[in-house]
Structure 1
Amino acid sequence: MDTMSLRHALLGLLEDGPASGYDLTARFERSLQKYAWTARQSHIYPELKRLADSDLIAVTEEGARGRRTYAITDAGRTELRDWLLSPPRPRAVRDEHVLRMSLLSVLDIPQARGLVLRHLEEADQVAAELRALADAADTEPHPRGRLRFGRLAIEYGVHQYQAQQQWGHWALEQLDRAEAADPHQRQPSET
């Protein structure tokens, strides 16, 4: 787990308003988990402690059963802005969908078509989910009068999945052309 990005994701979520570890976990799951970054509760709480120890966040309230509410500090805002304005570090890419699409030539055309269709269905579903999130975000004003946290990221996701949809339709056309050009394509193996 890249704690630097988790650190900055948490600072960004706290920039949207004070929250407890539980609330941050819920915000993470709603706004980042499925589309941008994965973190478990077991990662979030230790990182909150490190952020507090570094004076990037502060405990603003303590409640029952050790519940703490955190707020971003000025130093945390500076850290977040510095990170946002710095160039991203090279990252290891691990995208199973892209890997599968890269290896489609291993399959027979009907098998490849089935895989592309599943990929296209998923892109359609996620694009619709993101569009619904964008529509909901557009109807509710932000308490500070700024763009709602993540609204620009939601639109980025919409465009990303629209590109996957376009690719899926293009790939299906290519498979159809290949099949039409060679009607004796080998059939899926019977194994």
Structure 2
Amino acid sequence: MQQLNFNKNAMQAIVLCPTRELAEQVAEQCRVLAKDMPNAKVLTLCGGQPMGPQINSLRHGCHIIVGTPGRVMDHVQKKRITLKHLKVRVFDEADRMLDMGFTDDLAVIFAGLRGPVQTLFFSATFTEATTALAQAYLRDPESIKVDSEQRANVSELVYTVEEGQRFNALKALLTTEQPNSAMVF
């Protein structure tokens, strides 16, 4: 965010995610981080969503695009997105993008990229294919590895509850179990 010029109405950062759900979460966090930056515009571009509103939003301009490779590639090929002012690109869950077959899409998206761009590459695993992808897009990379010896202690519980009783059941469960943390779906 610090590298971006929010006074300039140009796309300067792109974050690619393997799924629409992840892209929407990342875009929301970008909006939270940019909330104190005047004029900051974050646009989500994902497949499975109507093109019309995305095209209109692109016409109005944005600073950060968060999206899935397939949909971003569509917009790049139709020249709705220019990488001329790009300063930062992020590959989030790069290993999953490879697993889902987005390698060619990434090549198309960044084929016309000129000039230095900071690239952030996040991956849970580094297979030969992931390493090859990283080498194709990174220059003099710094690597941060998280020690995987300590595994998370996660318990998964499922409770079926009548719709009208969900809140009371959740409240009772949390009061009884008192977990340190919980995810509720």
TM-score by length of 2: 0.25
Q: Which has the higher strand share?
A: 2
TM-score by length of 1: 0.24
- When Rg is computed on C-alpha atoms for both structures, the one with the higher figure is 1
